[in-house]
Structure 1
Amino acid sequence: GSEQLLSWPVFAESCGCRCDTKEDFAELRRKLAQDRIETTTYTEIIKASSADFVGVETQKDLFEKIRKYIAMLDPEEFYLCLGYNTNSINTDIMSHLNTEAGNTDLLTYPKDATVPIAYRNGHFETYGRFHVNELLPEKYKEHDGSMLYTIVPVHYQERTYGYCVLGKSRLLIDSSWFHLFIMNINNALENVRKQEVMNAMVERLNRMWVYDTLTGIFNRAGFFKFSSAIVKEAQERGKPLFVLFLDLDGLKKVNDQYGHDEGDAYIKAMANVLNQVRKHGELLMRYGGDEFVILSKGYTDADAKNYISQIQTGIENYNANSNHEYTLEASMGYTIVEPAPDLDIEEIIEAADQEMYKMKKAKKAARRD
């Protein structure tokens, strides 16, 4: 049969080794209490950062807030290293509008990084581009002796932003709260990225609403949105309003003989000429397929004729330097009216259109003769 031996542990205050060092228990208690106070302080700081990072919309504002909390934590060294292609999240932001294509460059570490936040011995600075194989720029590696660094990745799920480097701070390194602080940075960077992508999408939609996609000048919506300010200023200062109506000649012939791509180029060429002539804040609109409208204030009849002459010179310069078999041509008409309180901008445009039609009719009659 089996035998059972009764046993019990014997606890002792020493392993038996002889130690001649006398421990100052009062000093030990003071150190433990100090560590406890510092841990509590760090905990409160990092919890506050979690709430403070919420709602940050720009990278600049986020960096300011990170600096605020790093200064409060006061590690001997701290470096936030972001990938060069994500350091400015809105760089080439339009590529991010296509989620699949826009996120590809954030799934791996880039070859280069920058340091938007470097904290050394109580002072902040930034550093430009360096190769990530170096982990840190050489200037930050200069120390008299050995140096212990902790490197923590900065990412959101699979999306990589970079990493942070922490030096000589055992309490922060050992604290799970510091890793929570890095997680706060991760989440904040992702929120900023989403916000800037959304802002870019809104800006793109706004541009599509007010700008003509072919020529880049105002469409009808954009023109009527901003024309009210010119009309109001003309009414307040008693200045006459000038409206010029321009209609391209020969667009149908260009489309029929050379194709619609050349027709589009024909329209864009006219828009470019009109843009180059604009000098005093004239409002330019693509009114229809081959029609353009220009609105301004304070023009006299002589000013209007001079403006038309400048447009005609621009057209001639374009034709002289163009390799096309066709020539850019247009008919123009204008009207100048006093800005009455009940002024209807559509009626003024219609009046300028009628003047343009007279010019076009006269040109056709001259060609027949």
Structure 2
Amino acid sequence: SVTFISFPNYNQGIQCVCRIHKMLTGKSVRSDLYFEEKLCASDSCGCHTPDNPSLLWLKKDRAEQFQYQSLFRYSGMQESLSSTDNAADCFKKLHNLNYLIRGIKSMHYFLCDDWDGISYTGNEPYRSSGYSERLMTYSSYYPGGTLFEVRRKMDVPDFVSSQERSGTYFFFPMHYSDRTFGFAALEFTDIHHTPDSFFWSFMEILNNALETIRIRYYITRFSERQRLAAIRDNLTGFYNRRGFEEISAEMYEYAVSHHERFYLSAIRLYNLEQINQELGYETGDQILLIISDVIGKLTKGNETPSRYKGGKFYVVGTHSADAPYPSVAVQKQEFLNECRKKLADYEEALQIELEIEVFRDFITEQELSVIISELETKLNKKHVNSRKKRIHMMNIYDIRKEIYRNPQKKWTVEELARMMSLSDAYFQRMYKKAFQVSISADLIHARIEMAKLLLSEGTPIAETAEHCGYSSDVYFMHQFKKETGKTPTEWTNHHRNNISKKKS
């Protein structure tokens, strides 16, 4: 013990603050917080009487320190903070540990928005000096609650000084080695308290916990990137086969547990291999990207697209019972129309064999594998029928060419339908759908066109009628006038006059 002036002696500190204020602003200030100054004598040898104020204060302080040391030792602070998944949870738990700080009134943690190093865009790999312009502020009042705000760095001085009375804050950096996390501001209940050795341990554990969270988050993100790379399709960015199997199982379970409609659409480009062989793999990839672009644009709400393999795509999701949704037929047609429009240039070189089938219903007893299997069966059946139609249409075009080349033949519907292995009625329906005219009317049109050609070359009417398959001249002339509005003679004269006018 030594002789000193007043206890506690804050007068000198107060005077220093007032002098600094005048140096900064040019204005003098006066504080009411003055203590009576008096000499307090103590024995220089260290011997004290039992009622010596200094000794009593020291004993009380050491007893209090010992009490807090016990609290700190058994608080489980390190385990509690390090087990959190993110900074927000960490500071929430930290609020419940405020009792470890002697005399605490409030504690404010200002965390840089790039503290984890993920979003830091500086020249260095992470922030090692200074603080970000945006600070995530976790304010903790003891006793009291917590408050979270995003604050600008420039607003921090106003924030800590906007009290109704004067006060003191102790600022501490939050960091791990040279990696900057942010800083903390501590306010005590009265002037007798200052940060002690336990507080430094408190801050050290907090910084270690933040670094543990940061590393864990980095490892999680790295693992997630690896997982996504394993379940993502490199060409389209959709989920791949493995990703579809994972997400479809999750969606299926969600639809069952939440009683929502399970949605699954299967899309297949059947002739991808043929496209790759005939037009090249680059063209094949471009076609797949166009299809995936249409799928992505038409995917709605809680739906996820996948490229299963090759030209096979799936879209899986769930729909709430009352959610508005277009009919399945409309959706399928919209998809096919959009794809045909975007693939029109490619279809000039090669037919694009693209099909879609959709399942959208509440799950009763169907297993996911059964739904997928039934959808694939429908899709394949639809493709077979579509291919048959395309083949039939190609054959119908060939038959029409043959009819126009040889209209004089005694063509019958039965004979033409037999050539295509179709029933008479189905053949006639397909023919009319393809050319917007019945087979009988088209046959008459072919004969009349042939007759015009022969008449223009000067072939006599009787011979023309015979060449066009008519057994009667009269019937020929009657049908010719019905189709053209003129008799063969009138048409021939009109045709010759037109030629003469063009020559003149």
Please state which band the TM-score falls in when normalised by the shorter chain.
Answer: 0.5 to 0.7
* Deviation per residue, 1:159-188 (Å, 9 max, x gap): 110111234577764512211111111101
Task: Name the % identity.
Answer: 16
Change beyond 3 A, Cα 1:258–1:79: farther
Moved more, 26-35 or 326-335: 326-335
Deviation at 1:62?
0.5
Q: Find the aligned partners of 1:259 and 1:83 in 2 and give their Cα distance.
A: 49
Change beyond 3 A, Cα 1:220–1:33: same
Q: Find the aligned partners of 1:259 and 1:246 in 2 and give their Cα distance.
A: 17
* Deviation per residue, 1:92-129 (Å, 9 max, x gap): 5xx89xxxx99723223234242522245744434422
Q: TM-score, normalised by structure 2?
A: 0.52
Residue equivalent to 2:233: 212
- Kindly indicate whether the alpha-carbon contact (under 8 Å) linking 2:3 and 2:41 is maintained by their aligned counterparts in 1: no
Residue equivalent to 1:38: 64
Corresponding residue SS for 1:152:
strand
Residue equivalent to 1:161: 181
Q: How many corresponding residue pairs?
A: 333
Question: What amino acid sits opposite 1:42 in the alignment?
Answer: Y
Corresponding residue SS for 1:287:
strand
Change beyond 3 A, Cα 1:196–1:367: farther
| Superposed counterparts of 1:24-173, under 5 Å | 25=51, 27-47=53-73, 48=75, 49-73=77-101, 74-86=103-115, 89=116, 92=119, 104-119=125-140, 122-123=143-144, 124-131=146-153, 136-142=156-162, 147-168=167-188, 173=194
Deviation at 1:219?
1.8
Deviation at 1:265?
5.4
Change beyond 3 A, Cα 1:113–1:60: same
Q: Find the aligned partners of 1:366 and 1:228 in 2 and give their Cα distance.
A: 41
Deviation at 1:340?
7.0
Change beyond 3 A, Cα 1:325–1:156: farther
Question: What amino acid sits opposite 1:41 in the alignment?
Answer: Q
Deviation at 1:154?
0.8
Deviation at 1:290?
2.7
Corresponding residue SS for 1:104:
coil
Corresponding residue SS for 2:266:
strand
Q: TM-score, normalised by structure 1?
A: 0.67
Residue equivalent to 1:292: 313
Residue equivalent to 1:199: 220
**Residue 315 (str. 1) matches residue 339 (str. 2):** yes
* Deviation per residue, 1:31-63 (Å, 9 max, x gap): 333322332233334442234323222212201
Change beyond 3 A, Cα 1:314–1:71: farther
- Kindly indicate whether the alpha-carbon contact (under 8 Å) linking 2:266 and 2:312 is maintained by their aligned counterparts in 1: no
Deviation at 1:144?
6.8
Q: Find the aligned partners of 2:372 and 2:249 in 1 and give their Cα distance.
A: 12
**Residue 246 (str. 1) matches residue 273 (str. 2):** no
Q: Find the aligned partners of 1:255 and 1:172 in 2 and give their Cα distance.
A: 82
Change beyond 3 A, Cα 1:70–1:329: farther
Q: Find the aligned partners of 2:163 and 2:262 in 1 and give their Cα distance.
A: 73
Structure label with greater radius of gyration: 2
| Superposed counterparts of 1:314-333, under 5 Å | 314-315=338-339, 319=342, 331-332=354-355
Tell which has more relative contact order, 1 or 2 (C-alpha 8 A, sep 6+): 1
Q: Find the aligned partners of 1:342 and 1:82 in 2 and give their Cα distance.
A: 47
Q: Find the aligned partners of 1:81 and 1:44 in 2 and give their Cα distance.
A: 29
Question: What amino acid sits opposite 2:354 in the alignment?
Answer: S
Of the three residues 252, 267, 271, the one matched with 2:292 is: 271
Residue equivalent to 2:242: 221
Instruction: Supply the RMSD in Å over aligned alpha carbons.
Output: 4.9
Question: What amino acid sits opposite 1:125 in the alignment?
Answer: L
Q: Find the aligned partners of 2:94 and 2:318 in 1 and give their Cα distance.
A: 50
Question: What amino acid sits opposite 2:110 in the alignment?
Answer: C
Question: What amino acid sits opposite 1:83 in the alignment?
Answer: C
- Kindly indicate whether the alpha-carbon contact (under 8 Å) linking 1:154 and 1:163 is maintained by their aligned counterparts in 2: yes
